[in-house]
Amino acid sequence: MPPDILTERSKMDYETAKELVVAGLTKKQKTKSKFYFNDLAKLIGEKPRAAKKYVNQMVQEGVLEYWSSGSTSLYGLPGTGKQAFAEHED
């Protein structure tokens, strides 16, 4: 179990946040595969600073994958959407 990554003001534990994010992204997977950080914060129901700690932990554990174009940062479930090897094909 990851160390306590939030202050005592946190409303939920990491495992609950992880379940909410995975369930929410799985449900929306048919329409899109990558999501903005604000979408994830809404799923978790925490303020951005607390949500960021949860999201970073999920990326470190491989629950989420991080994607950046340089100006835009998105998150998604690993193995969903366009695969890395197909991104450069026309």
Please write the tens of the pLDDT for every residue from 49-88.
989 999 999 999 999 999 998 899 999 999 887 654 455 4
Does this model's pTM top 0.85? no
The confidence score (pLDDT) of residue 13 equals 87
Domains of the chain, residue spans? 14-78
Q: Give the span between the Cα atoms of 76 and 63, in whole angstroms.
A: 9
CATH number of 14-78: 1.10.10.10
Look at 38 and 88; give whichever has higher pLDDT.
38
Q: Other CB atoms closer than 10 Å to residue 80's CB: what's the count?
A: 14
- Quick check: 51 and 64 in contact, CB under 8 A? no
